[in-house]
Amino acid sequence: MRRNRAEIVGDEMRKVMQDIISNEVKDPRVPLLTSVTMVKMTQDLSHATIFVSVYGTDDEKKEALAALDRAKGFIRFEMCKRINLRLAPELHFKIDNTLDEAARMDYLIDKALKEDKEKRIALGLEVEESDEAQEDEE
């Protein structure tokens, strides 16, 4: 499948942004465990939405986002030095919550499976694991 220029530039920008945020931005509000998960470019390449994943509490995530917004000019300048574009895109940072959502979904699935197993045991459709171990010993 053929990719358009915005996707190609977005992928390259994600790599460059990750390097800049990890190695060049010196703001202590940006944690070490901050990663750029995706960059979405507009078709005319004038705007870039950078999705960042920050490990920490909600307050730490807000602080990191504020720090990145404050360093936006520096990040844009560094990016333009590394990627040859006719126009330096306007940067927009957003928190990526997909990891939090995945953890929440995993918890809900485990909870549902546990409740289902408890109901099956209560109805006598399934034997408890401790009962199975006792039957194996006999």
> What is the pLDDT at residue 53?
92
Q: Examine the pLDDT at 19 and tell me if it is beyond 60.
A: yes
For the chain, percent of residues with pLDDT exceeding 70: 92
As given in the structure block, the two tokens for residue 4 are 């358009």
In the predicted structure, residue 83 carries a pLDDT above the cut 60: yes
pLDDT band with cut points at 50, 70 and 90 for residue 135: low
| pLDDT tens-digit map of 41-62 | 999 999 999 999 998 888 999 9
Give the pLDDT of residue 76. Answer: 93
For residues 6 and 99, which has the higher predicted lDDT (pLDDT)? 6
What does CATH list as the number for 5-96?
Answer: 3.30.300.20
Give me the chain's average pLDDT, please.
Answer: 88
- More confidently predicted of 1 and 101: 101
Domain with CATH 3.30.300.20 in the chain: 5-96
| Least confident window among 78-82, 87-91, 98-102 | 98-102
Predicted TM-score of the model (pTM): 0.73
